[in-house]
A and B are shown apart, each in its own frame.
With several copies, the nearest count.
Chain A
C-alpha cells in the first residue's frame, strides 16, 4: 500500500529539472488543424515541469471524445477509458495511490452528458484529482451533434430544427454539487490557463477547471467574445480573490443589488463600496452568483478561480481509516480471522 500523503494536492517533488519534452510523448497529435486542443496540450506540457513531479508519478486519465486523445500525447502514465467514466477510473487510481498526481481530461459530452453522474460524485467526494473539462459546446469526435452545453436553438446534425434543451452552466453545476475548487479559463490565453492550472494543482482535493475550447470544425467562434483579443478585453471578467470585480478596462463592475443580488453596472455609476469584492474562499453562494452573471459565453463572463475551499480529501480519509484500524486492532492476521467465532476440532 502506498504511504499516506498528509496533504493531497500535488506537492513539488525533488525531481531533477524537468522540461516540456519530458511530458511530450512520441505520438503525433491528430486533432483537426487549428483545434483549440493543441493550445491546451502545449500549455499543459509546458506547465507540468513546474510541479517538479516526474512523469512516472503522473497519470492522465481521459474519456472518449476529441479531448480524450489528450492522454496519448502526454509522456506520463495514462488511461484512456470508455465514454464518460474517467472520473471513476481516476478515483480508483487516486485512492489506491495517493502519492500520484492524477489528472482527468474530459469534454462537455464526456463529462457532462454520459459522465455527469461520475463527475458530480467525484466533486462531492473531493477526490484528489484535477479535472480539465474541454468545453467546446459540441460533440466533436462524433462529428457535430449538440452537447449539454450548447446554447438553446442550436442547429446541428442531430437537431436540424434547433435544439430545445436548456444547457448546463458547468460552473454553477460544480458549485451545486459541493465542489471545492471551481475555475474557468480559455484555451488560447496561455498565461491565464497556466495560472489556473497552477492553482488547480496546488488545491488539495478535486479541482474542476472548465476550459472554453474552440472547435473550429463544428462550432467555430463559440467563444470569440472572450477568446478574441479585441473583444476579450471588454468581456472577460477576471476574478482575483480579495479584489473588487471590475472589467472592461475598468468601465464596468459587478455590484450588489437588491436582496444581495449581483449585477453588472457601469463603474462610474457605482458606489465603490457597492462593488463586489471577490471572495473565492467563502460560501459557494457568492461564486454561484458570479456564475450566473452571464447566460453563457456570448455575454461578458467571469474567468479565473470562482471558488476554492478546503475539505477532507476522500482518498486520504480512507487511508487514514486503514491506518487507524491497524493501530487500533493490529495489522490483520489471516489465521485469526479464519478462526474467529465458534470453531471445533476433530482429533
Chain B
C-alpha cells in the first residue's frame, strides 16, 4: 500500500550529528540525488569550531543544511522544515534552527541519560515538553542499522557507523529522491571493500524501507524539478569553483598557475584543491607564513606566472606590505581573501563580509588596487577568471573577495563550455630594438610585463618610487605626484572595462534600491522576491566590482529615493557609496557570523518603505 505524497514548492532539510557521524557526507549525497532530480538547491555545511570536541557535546555537532525547490532559490533557507538529529547534542544545538511546527527525526537510540546530560540538557527533551509544537519522529536508527547489517561479517562498531546511511535512506524516501545515485556512489567508494559496501547498502535500504513500510510516517513529499536552462549541470561549492576558475584562467591565458599560501580556515580548501591538479602544471607552495606566501607569489609574478596567494582576514593583514609592493611594482597577482567572522582570530569557522574596507585601504600610502568579489558559490569560477583578466591586463595586484559562506556552500552550476570562456592575453613584452622602458604605459596605462630570461629587456624594479618611463629610483616631487596619480588613474580606468551595474526593477517604479555585494546576493534576492510577492516594488543591484565601481554606479544609486545596503558588517559598502556618490544610503547590518536571513531583510525592506 503506497503512502500519500504531498507536493511542496521548497523544502529545507538539516542533518545534524556528532563530528564523527558523517553528516557532511550524508548531506553531500542527499544533495547529489537532489541535483540529479533537477531541483534548484543551495546548501550550507556548518562545521564545529573545535577540531573534534568531545563526542556527544554541542561543541562537537556538525550539521549540513540544504534547501531545494521547484523554482529558483538563492539561499539554504532561514529555517529548516526537517531536522535529522543523530543525538541529543545535535537536537540541542540545532532545534532553534527549525521552524515552528517543523519535523524532527531523532535517533532514539542515542537519547540515553548519559548522552542527554552530555548535551547539556538537565532533563530528557523527549519527555519534558521541549519538543511541543514540533512533529517528532523517534526512530531507533542505530539498532535498526545494526540489525540490518547482521550477518555481513563486520563488527558492531563498524555496523553502527552505517547509521548515517540509514538516515539518508529514510530522508531519501521522504522526499522521493532516487536511490541509484547513492547506490552507484557507494559502489565507487566502497566497491573494493565488500563488507563495508554491503553494510552501507543494507543500512541505506533499511532506512528507505523504514519510511515506506512503517506506520510512523503517514506521507512523503514531492518537490518538482525546477525549470532549468538546457545544459549539463553539476553541483559546486565556492572553494572548488574558485580553484577551478583559477585553473581555467591559467588554461585560457597560457600562464602557468602558481599558488603560494599558508593554511588558514576557510581558505585552506583552495590550497588543498589546487594541490591535486599538478597535471595542469599547477605549482602549489605551502609557505612558512602569509608574508612569505605573498612574496613567493610576487616573485613568480615577476617570472611570468599566473601568481595567486590565498588567505583569510588575518593573512590579508600580514600580506598588506607585500601587496603594496606589488602595487608599486605593477605586476599581475591575485590575492584571494576568503573572509571569516570577527576581528583578530574571531570566529574562524563563521562567515562575515567585513574585509571590504581593508581590501580598499589596508596598505600605507596611496596604493589603489582593483577589487572583485564573488556572490555565489558558482560565481567564484567567473570571479576568478575576471580577477585574472584584470590583473594581467592592467599589471596589477587584484583582491578577490569570497567568504566562508560562499566557500562552503554549494549550488547547481551549468557547466560552461570551455571554449566560451574569455581568453586572456599575457602580452609579454618583447625587445623592439629601442631602449626598454619598464614604466612606459599603454592606452590603459598598463606597463610592460618583461620576464627574466628575455634578452634585451633586462631591468630592475623595486618598492622605492619609480621614475615615470625608465623605472629608475626617483625622489623627484613632481614625479611622485605623477606616479601616484597614474597608479590611481589606471585602477579608476577599469570602470569602463567592466560590465555596467545591472538593475533589476521589474515594474520600473521602485523607490527603494537594495544594493548588495558578495554573499548576501542570495538573501537579497529571496527577501526582495518576498517583498514583491507582498506587493511592494523594490529594485535590486549587485556589485561584483568593488573597486572601481562600474561606471554607471553613481547614476544607479542616485536614481532611487532610498538605497538600502544589507551587509554582514557594520556598513562598509555603505560608507564607500556614501563617500563617493553622496547618497544617503542606509546600512542594514548583521554581524553574527551567519548569513542574513531573507525574512529579516524582508522586514527591513518593508520598514524602510513604510518609513
Contact = CB atoms under 8 A, between A and B. Distances in A.
A56 B461 contact: no
Interface stretch (B298-306, B387-395, B505-513, B591-599): B298-306
Interface in B307-333: 307, 314, 321-322, 324-325, 329
Contact of A330 (B230, B279, B455): B279
A156 to B, nearest CB: 9
B296 A143 contact: no
A292 B464 CA distance: 39
A56 B299 CA distance: 16
Interface in A201-237: 217
A100 B299 CA distance: 13
Interface in A72-99: 72, 74-85, 88-97, 99
A107 B32 CA distance: 39
Contacts of B51: 30-32, 66, 140-141, 143, 217
B230 A347 contact: yes
A197 interface: no
Interface string B30-57: 0010011010000000000011111100
B299 A91 contact: yes
A47 to B, nearest CB: 18
A342 B181 CA distance: 8
B367 interface: no
A95 B283 contact: yes
Given A80-B461, A82-B463, A159 B234 contact: no
Contact of A338 (B55, B288, B418, B457): B418
Given A56-B456, A328-B279, A88 B291 contact: yes
A17 to B, nearest CB: 16
Interface string A321-342: 1101110111110110111011
A27 interface: yes
A124 to B, nearest CB: 9
Interface residues of B, number: 93
Nearest to B225: A346
A116 interface: yes
A61 interface: yes
B416 to A, nearest CB: 7
Interface residues of A, number: 88
Interface string B284-297: 11111111101111
Contact of A88 (B52, B59, B295, B461): B295
B598 to A, nearest CB: 26
A344 B233 contact: yes
A78 B460 contact: yes
Contacts of A157: 268, 271-272, 275
A81 B36 contact: no
Contacts of B194: none
A64 interface: yes
Contacts of A114: 262, 288-290
Nearest to A1: B256
A28 B54 contact: yes
B283 A318 contact: yes
Interface stretch (B137-145, B150-158, B243-251): B243-251
Contacts of A308: none
B452 A97 contact: yes
B122 interface: no
Most buried by A among B38, B235, B272, B276: B272
A334 B418 contact: yes
Contacts of B302: 77, 79, 89, 92-93
Most buried by B among A75, A113, A318: A113
B166 interface: no
A314 B233 CA distance: 40
Given A61-B299, A96-B305, A338 B416 contact: yes
Contacts of B228: 346
Contacts of B454: 56
A192 to B, nearest CB: 27
A332 B278 CA distance: 8
B345 interface: yes
B289 A25 contact: no
Contact of B452 (A30, A56, A83, A346): A56
A95 B452 contact: no
B296 A334 contact: no
A118 interface: yes
A95 B296 contact: yes
B359 to A, nearest CB: 19
Given A96-B256, A346-B231, A142 B264 contact: yes
B289 A95 contact: no
A139 B268 CA distance: 12
A146 interface: yes
A254 to B, nearest CB: 32
A120 to B, nearest CB: 8
A292 B492 CA distance: 57
Most buried by A among B244, B302, B461: B302
A71 B464 CA distance: 13
A102 B472 CA distance: 21
A337 B231 contact: no
B4 to A, nearest CB: 28
A260 interface: no
Nearest to B414: A346
A284 interface: no
A117 B263 contact: no
A28 B52 CA distance: 13
A33 B55 contact: yes
Given A97-B303, A118-B288, A334-B247, A341 B234 contact: yes
A339 B415 CA distance: 7
A334 B299 contact: no
B281 interface: yes
Nearest to B241: A338
A92 B260 contact: yes
A23 B292 CA distance: 29
B280 A332 contact: yes
B378 to A, nearest CB: 11
B133 interface: no
Contacts of B301: 92
Most buried by A among B52, B231, B290, B298: B52
A80 to B, nearest CB: 3
Contacts of A160: 272, 275-276
Nearest to B248: A334
A91 B451 CA distance: 16
Interface in B54-74: 54-55, 59
A146 B286 contact: yes
A145 B269 CA distance: 11
A259 interface: no
B31 to A, nearest CB: 9
B2 interface: no
B462 A113 contact: no
Contacts of B455: 54, 56
A324 B256 CA distance: 16
Given A82-B463, A117-B288, 17 more contacts: A32-B51, A33-B55, A55-B458, A56-B456, A56-B457, A77-B458, A82-B324, A85-B292, A91-B292, A96-B283, A100-B453, A158-B284, A159-B275, A160-B272, A331-B280, A346-B230, A346-B231
25 contacts: A30-B59, A32-B51, A32-B52, A55-B458, A58-B452, A72-B473, A77-B452, A79-B299, A79-B460, A83-B314, A85-B295, A89-B295, A89-B298, A91-B285, A92-B298, A117-B288, A161-B278, A326-B278, A328-B279, A332-B277, A332-B279, A334-B251, A342-B36, A342-B235, A345-B230
The 9 closest A-B pairs by CB, nearest first: A92-B299, A80-B462, A332-B280, A78-B460, A88-B295, A325-B278, A32-B52, A114-B289, A96-B303
Interface of A: 1, 25, 27-28, 30-33, 54-61, 64, 66, 71-72, 74-85, 88-97, 99-100, 113-114, 116-118, 121, 139-143, 145-146, 148, 157-161, 163, 217, 318, 321-322, 324-326, 328-332, 334-335, 337-339, 341-347
